Amino acid sequence: MKNYPAEPYRIKVVEVPNILTRQERVEAMKEAGYNTFLLKSEDCYIDFLTDSGTNAMSDRQWAGMMIGDEAYAGSRNWFHFESVVKDTFGFKHVLPTHQGRGAENILSTLLIKPGDYVPGNMYFTTTRYHQEANGATFKDIIIDEAHDPEIDLPFKGNIDLNKLQAVIDEVGADKIPYVCLAVTVNLAGGQPVSMANMRQVRELCDKHGIKVFYDATRYAENAYFIKTREEGYADKTIKAIIKEMFSYADGATMSGKKDGIVNMGGFLAMNDDDMYTRSREMVVVFEGMPSYGGMSGRDMEAFAIGITESCRFEYIQHRVEQVAYLGDKLIAAGVPVVKPIGGHGVFLDARAFLPHLEQEQLPAQTLAAHLYIESGVRSMERGVVSAGRDKITGENHKPKLETVRLTIPRRVYTYAHMDVCAEAIIELYKNRSSIRGLKFVYEPPMLRFFNAKFDYCD
C-alpha cells in the first residue's frame, strides 16, 4: 500500500464551516442556477471550486504582511519581491500585476496582431480569451494522448513537436507571436511537461525566430513531477529544476494565487529589454505603478515568501501527494477519472461517469451540481460549458475531455476531508443512472461558465 506524507505544517487557526442539510443544499443549488460558481462560499462544506487564491498562508507570510510598505512607488516589498522572482525564475525583468490574467492581457495586447496564431499545449479559458480578443486564433498542439482520460503517461502535458512544426508550415513563423507553454496543463488534468520537451520546443522555436512564453502558474508542481518522474533529476533541488525549466523561455505570465501560495497577485517576466520598456508603460495603464502593479506592499511581501516556501521539497511533496490520495481512492473504487492524477486536482471523467447523457446535456455541469447537492462539496465544470462557442458558427466547442475538476487548495484540508469527498463521489457513482442532464436558461456572451444559469432538461 502506498504511503502518503503527513502534513508538513501545524494548524494554529481554524475556520468553522457551515454544514447545510441536503434539502438546504437542493435549494441553494437551485437558487444558483445549478452553477457552482454562483453558490455562496459559506454554503460549501468542502470547497474544491479552485486552488486559485484559496490557499492557507504560513505564519511567516502573515508576519511579512505586517511590514507592508504601502508607498505609491519604490516600496521595499517590491524590491524583495523582484529579487525573489529573478532569483527563482532567472528572468532579467519582472513586472507585478494584480493576478495572472492581468499579465495575460498585457502580453497578448503587446505581442498579438489581428490574424496571428498562438500555438499552445491546450487552451485555458482566460488565456485564450485574451489571445482571441486581440485578434489571434489559438492552435492546440498538445500531444494526442492528453485528450484521452484513460491513457497514463508521466508527461501528458507535452507539446507535440510535429503539430507545432505543422502550424509553422501552415501559417508562417511571422504569424506566430509566441508559443504558449503551460506548466502544468490545467484542463488536461494538471498534467506536467517534461524538461526534455521544454528544451526541444525551445530549439524548434529558435530555428524559426519564435518566442516562447510559459504560463508559470503551477511551476512548483511541474518541477516536482520532473524530479520524481524524469531521468537525471532525482537528486536536483526543486529550485534548481525551476531555474532550468524557465531557462528555455523568453518570459512568463504568472498567477501567484496558485503555487505562489497567496490570495492575490501575479507577474509578467521577460528577458527582452525593449519588450520590458513597452510592458512597463502598459502596466501603468492597466494595473498600476511598475513597482506595485495592482498589489499592495503586504501582498508582494507575502508573495515573495510564498515563492520561497513553494520550493521546499517537503511542502510540494505533500501538496501533490495529497491530491494523489484522493485520486487513488476514486480509482480503487472504479470511478472514472483523468489519469494520471495531476498536481492541483482530481478530474472526474464526466462522460464516462454519466454515459447516458449526451454532451449537449452538459454532463460535467450536471455532475458538479449533483456532487454539491449530495455532499456539500463544491467543484467546477471543465467541459463544453467552459469551452464556449465557435465565434464563427456559434456552435458549442465540444472538447474530448468533459470533466469535473476537484481542485485542492494548498494547506487548507486534511486527508480526512479527502475521505469525505471520495465517499460522496463513490456513492454518487453507484446511483448515477438517475441523474438528469441540464440545459442553459441564461448564457453570457463570453466566459459563460462564470455566470451562466441552468435547469434540468425536459
> What are the pLDDT digits (tens) for 60-78?
999 999 999 999 999 999 9
Q: Confirm if 75 and 291 have CB atoms less than 8 A apart.
A: yes
Active site residue 215: yes
The answer to whether 276 and 180 are in contact (CB under 8 A) is: no
What pLDDT is stored for residue 369 in this prediction?
A: 98
124 pLDDT tier (thresholds 50, 70, 90): confident
348, 327 in Cβ contact below 8 A?
no
- Cite the DSSP H helix spans in 66-124: 76-89, 100-111
Q: Is the pLDDT of residue 115 over 90?
A: yes
Q: Which of 34, 124, 155, 248 is catalytic?
A: 124
- 449 is written with which cell numbers? 461558465
Q: Is 54 a catalytic residue?
A: no
State residue 217's pLDDT score.
95
Of residues 2, 10, 21, 72, which has the active-site annotation?
A: 72
pLDDT, one tens digit per residue, over 359-398 is: 999 999 999 999 999 999 999 999 999 999 988 899 999 9
Instruction: Note if 258 is an active site residue.
Output: yes
Residue with cell 482566460: 126
125 assigned to active site: yes
Buried (b) or exposed (e) across 19-29, using 16+ Cβ within 10 A? ebeeeebeebb
What mean pLDDT do residues 426-453 have? 96
- pTM of this structure: 0.95
Question: pLDDT band for position 189 (50/70/90)?
Answer: very high
Secondary structure (3-state) at 94: strand
Identify the active-site residue in 257, 382, 405, 411: 382
Active-site residue identified among 116, 215, 259, 299: 215
The 3-state DSSP class for residue 131 equals: helix
Task: Tell me: pLDDT of 96 over 90.
Answer: yes
Q: What cell was used for 288?
A: 498600476
Q: Which of 218, 257, 258, 448 is catalytic?
A: 258
> Across residues 121-134, what is the average pLDDT?
91
Catalytic option among 117, 123, 267, 449: 449
pLDDT above 90 covers what percent of the chain?
97
List the catalytic residue out of 97, 125, 403, 407: 125
| 3-state SS class at 177 | coil
Compute the radius of gyration of the chain from its Cα atoms. Answer: 21
